[in-house]
Amino acid sequence: NAGVTQTPKFRILKIGQSMTLQCTQDMNHNYMYWYRQDPGMGLKLIYYSVGAGITDKGEVPNGYNVSRSTTEDFPLRLELAAPSQTSVYFCATSLGQGGYTFGSGTRLTVV
Amino acid sequence: GNSVTQMEGPVTLSEEAFLTINCTYTATGYPSLFWYVQYPGEGLQLLLKATKADDKGSNKGFEATYRKETTSFHLEKGSVQVSDSAVYFCALILTGGGNKLTFGTGTQLKVEL
C-alpha cells in the first residue's frame, strides 16, 4: 500500500520557471492538503481540497495553483518560480478527523 | 484565530532522561489535539491524539493529556532513547471548514548516549 506518493523528491528551478509537484494517494481519502515547511516556521497550508472538483485557499496561496480532477491526484502548480518559494513541500490526505497521512516531501530550490 | 505555541528547541537530553515538550493552544471552539513526529528526511507521522478535554493520548511510550483549563497538551516520555531524536509538532483541528490542521513551529529533540 503506497499511501501518499510525491514526485519529484528534489528539484532545482531557475527564477521564472514553472513546474508541477505531483501528489497521488491510494487510500480513497476525500481531503487533501499542500503544506510548505520552512526552517523554524512549522508547516503553512497552501491549498486544500475536500473532494474531487473542490479546492480552496489556505494560509499562503500566492504564487501557487491546484486542481483536483480525481480523488487520487492533487497536483500543485508553480507558475513563475521565485526564491521565496524555496522550501520543502508536503502533500497530505485525511478522512477528516485530523489523522493526516503525509507524503515524503519535495525539496525545491529556486535559484 | 487558531494558533499553537510550542517550546523553543532544540532540546538535548541524555538517553533514559525524562522528556517534556510544552504545547499550548488558542482556538475558537473545542479542538482536537495532536502530536506529530518528523524523522530526518521524512514526512510527518501521527504520534498521538486526543479529541476532548481530559483525554490522554498515548503511543510508543509518549503521552499527552488534553487540559482545557490551561489550554495545553504537553508531550511527555519517561525514558527517551536515541531513536526518539526527531522534530515534534503539536497541532489542532476544528471540525468543519476543510478539517485543516494548524501546526506549531516544531521542537527538535536530540537524544545522546
Contacts of A102 in chain B (CB under 8 A): 43-45
Which amino acid makes up residue A95? L
Asked if A105's CB is within 8 angstroms of B42's CB, the reply is yes
Q: Three cell numbers at B82?
A: 536515541
Per-residue pLDDT at B5 exceeds 90: yes
At residue A3, the 3 state secondary structure works out as coil
Residue A1 has pLDDT above 70, yes or no: no
Q: For residue B84, what are the contacts with CB-CB under 8 A and spacing of at least 6?
A: B19, B77, B109, B111
Whether residue B84 is predicted with pLDDT greater than 80 in this model: the reply is yes
For chain B, say whether A48 makes contact (Cβ under 8 Å). Answer: yes
Contact residues, chain B, for A100 at CB < 8 Å: 36, 44, 46, 101
Q: List, for residues A50-68, the tens digit of each pLDDT value.
A: 999 999 999 999 999 999 9
Report d(CA A61, CA A74) in Å as an integer: 15
| Summary mean pLDDT of chain B | 93
Give ∠ CA B103-A37-A50 in degrees, rounded to 5.
65
pLDDT at A25 over 80: yes
Q: Which of A79-88, B1-10, B95-104 has the highest mean pLDDT?
A: A79-88
Q: Does residue B37 contact residue B44 with C-beta atoms inside 8 Å?
A: yes
Q: DSSP assignment of chain B, as one string?
A: --EEEE--S-EEEETT--EEE-EEEE-SS--EEEEEEE-TTS-EEEEEEE-STT-EEEETTEEEE-BTTTTB--EEESS--GGG-EEEEEEEE-SSTT--EEE---EEEEEE-
> Could you say which of A58, A99, A105 has the minimum Cβ distance to residue B49?
A99
User: Taking the C-alpha atoms of B26, B28, B29 and B31 in order, what is their torsion angle to the nearest 10 degrees?
Assistant: -40
Which of A72, A43, A65, A24 is CA-nearest to residue B36? A43
A100 and B101 within 8 Å at the Cβ level: the answer is: yes
> Cell 508536503 identifies what position?
A90
Cβ neighbors of A106 (< 8 A, separation 6 or more) are: A6, A7, A8, A9, A10, A11, A21, A88, A89, A90
B18 pLDDT above the threshold of 80: yes
DSSP letter for each residue of A44-89: EEEEEEEETTEEEE-S--TTEEE--SSSSB--EEESS--GGG-EEE
A96 has a chain B CB within 8 A of its CB: yes
Question: What is the reported pLDDT for A96?
Answer: 74
Q: How much of chain B exceeds pLDDT 90, in percent? A: 82
Mean pLDDT of B51-76: 96
Best B44, B47, B88, B90 member to test A by mutation, with max A CBs in 10 Å, is B44
The alpha carbon of residue B82 is apart from the nearest alpha carbon of chain A, in Å, by 22
